[in-house]
Amino acid sequence: MAAVEKRRPAVAPAASFTDSGRPAVSRTAAPADSEEDFLRQVGVTEMLRAALLKVLEARPEEPIAFLAHYFENMGLRSPANGGAGEPPGQLLLQQQRLGRALWHLRLAHHSQRTAFNNNVSVAYECLSASGRKKKPGLDGRTYSELLKRICRDGEAPEEVVAPLLHKIQCRDHEAVPLDVFRAGMLTCFVLLEFVARASALYRLLEDPALAVADRRVGQAVLDTLEGALQASDGAPVPARYLEAGSRLGPDSLALAMDRALVARRPSSPMTREEFLEKAAALFIAKVKPVA
Amino acid sequence: MLSPERLALPDYEYLAQRHVLTYMEDAVCQLLENKEDISQYGIARFFTEYFNSVCQGTHILFREFSFIQATPHNRASFLRAFWRCFRTVGKNGEAKKKKKKKENLLTMREYHCLLQLLCPDFPLELTQKAARIVLMDDAMDCLMSFSDFLFAFQIQFYYSEFLESVAAIYQDLLAGKNPNTVIVPTSSSGQHRQRPALGEASTLEGVEASLFYQCLENLCDRHKYSCPPPALVKEVLSNVQRLTFYGFLVALSKHHGINQALGALPDKGDLMHDPAMDEELERLLAQVPGLVNSATANPEAGCLPSRTPPRVGSPWRPLHHARKVDAESDGSTEETDESET
């Protein structure tokens, strides 16, 4: 909030510019006041305030690019909302709605849970406020399409994410409640990050010349990962995290890899796709299917 | 992927660190100056274009100096713009260098005029300081090559505040004071070296490099403006026993790791290499009616770029320093003609 207040004095220096350059501007009160009024009247104050709050909520790495994107989206949105001219076709409208929902979903990383949850709710509202004929609500078809779009943009191989989609998809005609929607979105984003990490892990194992990894090592890493994920399934939450963490610690991972290399089994290659698919399968096995 | 410090900062610090408010304030100022635009295109569009131009680094063109130096991003953008706009000037000079001994290079004042084409109120003092790095503090009316000037200017402009502190430290060291004890009472290094005996110091030029580094390391730690990566400063200083202030600045400006860390300019070798821009220039030149004849009449296509600077300069004639630039470009055209015949 302090930040928003801080912005105000900045308007004052602008007054001098405008005064000299543009005598046509009506000046009833002191120039600084009239400029502030002007900004408030045309909606700049409100718009920047909202933008700043979004920046603070999402804390993007590159806030300026974030702002450019934010205003761009706002500009695209306004003609459709204004209702002037021909109403866009149903399909186009649907695409716009999906785009907007996606944009909201991506504003904050899922680890910033409060911001992410807010954005999920906004995205849900965007999607469910559909045509006049239908009752408001989100149907399974739109939901599935959104999931597919997220996965596609996430650059994860299709065969890797397909099992997840299968698990959390709803039927086309089903209504999707907010909590299912939120869980689905979260799972999807977490899986994408999981796959990205797994891919980074594979790059470490990979033999740069051959572009494949040693199967023994790859399998050892996967087994360790599996062990960590399945460790003490029944234990209470914090204990489970700690146990998984310790099992994935560098020492135990190194030990497993070492053991795999020492064991006298024939070496065979393992491709990136296979590694990712197996890693993702471990994750997806933990996802509860939508009932 | 995530940089958690960013998420842990208090709101205001996060915004300050990334200069978000600087740009928002400037966006509002720009908007107030261009009220007609927003009634035509809408506010969201205006802000989109503003923030996009900040991302691309074109937002600093023709802006006032106070804005250009306001953030590290603005400084880097300005350096980049300067390089891209006047690269062909340098090309002219560099080509000459190889061709014959007499170099067609520019003086400090001429470089200053170029800077003022992009930023009308660019202070002369800063250009002078940069020239001093190239010319080692003497003979200020000497000619400089574009790349020498550019890299010296880069260090001087981007690290301006840092260099001021460095100069103060250097003076203190010269005077035999250890600035660590004077400026930083809570010096973390703890080990204050004994200053060299006066007699010894006065016979040698400059200051002892390792002592200098200790002070600079301290400075980097607490400096709130940008400073070069301490590891690279150390590298520069570990190669020598003693050095002078300008010796240090020259070494900084020629260090290509520092150039890379700053990220505004390419390596020195690639400075004249910008095929996309060359193509664009040739396309534009082909559209200028008066130019086509002289270009086609000239059998050597390679000469075309060398002719570019005076021609490109001409559209800016109405600007403040037009006369100065004209004088300079006329001179270089003559030079070009001479060398071709």
Q: Does A193 touch chain B (CB under 8 A)?
A: yes
Asked if B32 lies within 8 A of A42 by C-beta distance, the reply is: no
Q: Specify the amino acid at residue B224.
A: K
Q: Does A112 touch chain B (CB under 8 A)?
A: yes
Nearest to A18 among B2, B32, B38 (CB): B32
C-beta separation of B93 from B145 below 8 A: yes
What part of A 146-185 touches B (C-beta under 8 Å)? none
Asked if A196 lies within 8 A of B44 by C-beta distance, the reply is: no
Nearest to A44 among B14, B15, B31 (CB): B31
Q: Up-side HSE of residue B140: CA atoms within 13 Å toward CB?
A: 12
Asked if B43 lies within 8 A of A42 by C-beta distance, the reply is: yes
Q: In this complex, how many residue pairs, one in chain A and one in chain B, have their CB atoms less than 8 Å apart?
A: 110
- pLDDT in the model for residue B130: 93
Contacts of B12 in chain A (CB under 8 A): 2-3, 6
Convert the pLDDT of each residue in A231-261 to its tens digit.
656 667 777 788 888 878 778 888 888 888 7
DSSP B210: H
C-beta separation of B171 from B206 below 8 A: no
- pLDDT in the model for residue B2: 46
Nearest to B7 among A22, A59, A67 (CB): A59
End-to-end CA distance of chain A: 43
Min distance B20 CA to chain A CA atoms (Å): 7
Listed in sequence order, the residues at least 6 apart from A55 whose beta carbon sits closer than 8 Å to its beta carbon are A63, A66, A67, B15, B20
C-beta separation of A187 from A163 below 8 A: no
- pLDDT in the model for residue B176: 81
Asked if B55 lies within 8 A of A65 by C-beta distance, the reply is: yes
User: Of B11, B13, B14, B59, which to mutate for an interface test with A (greatest number of A Cβ within 10 Å)?
Assistant: B11
Nearest to A61 among B3, B43, B73 (CB): B3
* ipTM of this predicted structure: 0.73
DSSP B104: -
C-beta separation of A270 from A215 below 8 A: yes
CA-based nearest residue in chain A for residue B6: A59
The SS3 assignment for B120 reads coil
Where are the extended beta strands (E) located within B100-224? 106-107, 143-144, 207-208
Look-up: residue for tokens 């590891």?
A: B231
Q: How far apart are CA B61 and CA B117, in angstroms?
A: 9
Nearest to B6 among A51, A59, A72 (CB): A59
Q: Does A22 touch chain B (CB under 8 A)?
A: yes
Contacts of A68 in chain B (CB under 8 A): 48, 51-52, 54-55
Between β-strands B207-208 and B143-144, what pairing exists: parallel, antiparallel or unpaired? Answer: unpaired
Q: Does A109 touch chain B (CB under 8 A)?
A: yes
How big is chain B by its Cα radius of gyration, in Å? 23
Where are the extended beta strands (E) located within chain A? 213-214, 269-270
Q: Does A285 touch chain B (CB under 8 A)?
A: no
Tokens of A96: 């716009």
Nearest to A18 among B2, B33, B55 (CB): B33
pLDDT of A178 over the 70 cut: yes
- pLDDT in the model for residue A30: 54
Residue B75: count other Cβ atoms within 10 Å of its Cβ. Answer: 21
For chain A, give every domain's residue range.
90-286
Listed in sequence order, the residues at least 6 apart from A142 whose beta carbon sits closer than 8 Å to its beta carbon are A94, A97, A98, A127, A130
Q: Does A12 touch chain B (CB under 8 A)?
A: no
For chain B, give every domain's residue range.
4-56, 67-158+275-341, 160-269
- pLDDT in the model for residue B322: 37
Contacts of B11 in chain A (CB under 8 A): 2-3, 56
For every one of its 341 residues, what pLDDT tens digit does chain B have, with 9 covering 90 and above?
A: 446 677 778 888 889 889 999 999 999 999 998 888 777 788 888 999 999 999 999 999 999 999 999 999 999 999 999 998 888 876 754 554 454 434 458 899 999 999 999 999 999 999 999 999 998 766 777 888 898 999 999 999 999 999 999 999 999 988 887 765 544 444 444 444 444 444 444 456 788 888 899 888 888 888 777 889 888 999 989 888 888 899 899 999 999 899 999 999 988 888 877 787 788 888 888 887 765 554 444 444 433 344 334 433 333 333 344 344 444 444 443 444 444 43
Q: How far apart are CA B341 and CA B324, in angstroms?
A: 27
- pLDDT in the model for residue B335: 41
Min distance B121 CA to chain A CA atoms (Å): 16
- pLDDT in the model for residue B70: 94
Nearest to A63 among B18, B33, B52 (CB): B18
Asked if B42 lies within 8 A of A196 by C-beta distance, the reply is: no
C-beta separation of B108 from B118 below 8 A: no
Contacts of A47 in chain B (CB under 8 A): 43-44, 47
Q: Does A48 touch chain B (CB under 8 A)?
A: yes
Contacts of B52 in chain A (CB under 8 A): 68, 72
The SS3 assignment for B144 reads strand
Convert the pLDDT of each residue in A179-209 to its tens digit.
888 888 999 899 888 888 888 888 888 877 7
pLDDT of A263 over the 50 cut: yes
Min distance B19 CA to chain A CA atoms (Å): 9
Element (H, E) at B243: strand B242-243
Q: What letters, b where the CB count within 10 A reaches 16 and e where it falls short, cover B173-209?
A: beeeebbbeebeeebeeeeeeebbeeeebeeeebbbb
Q: How far apart are CA B134 and CA B124, in angstroms?
A: 16
Listed in sequence order, the residues at least 6 apart from A169 whose beta carbon sits closer than 8 Å to its beta carbon are A140, A143, A144, A147, A290
**Least confident stretch, A32-36, A107-111, B179-183, B330-334:** B330-334
Considering only residues A80 and B84, tell me which one the structure prediction assigns the higher pLDDT. B84
Where are the extended beta strands (E) located within B22-130? 106-107
Asked if A64 lies within 8 A of B55 by C-beta distance, the reply is: yes
Q: Specify the amino acid at residue A97.
A: R
Asked if B44 lies within 8 A of A75 by C-beta distance, the reply is: yes
Q: Does A25 touch chain B (CB under 8 A)?
A: yes
C-beta separation of B131 from B100 below 8 A: no
Contacts of B24 in chain A (CB under 8 A): 7, 48, 51-52, 67
Q: Up-side HSE of residue B202: CA atoms within 13 Å toward CB?
A: 4
Average pLDDT of span A266-276: 81
- pLDDT in the model for residue B66: 95
| Confidence label for A177 from pLDDT (cuts 50, 70 and 90) | confident
Q: How far apart are CA A280 and CA A278, in angstroms?
A: 5
How big is chain A by its Cα radius of gyration, in Å? 26
- pLDDT in the model for residue B308: 39
Asked if B44 lies within 8 A of A193 by C-beta distance, the reply is: no
Look-up: residue for tokens 């471990």?
A: A282
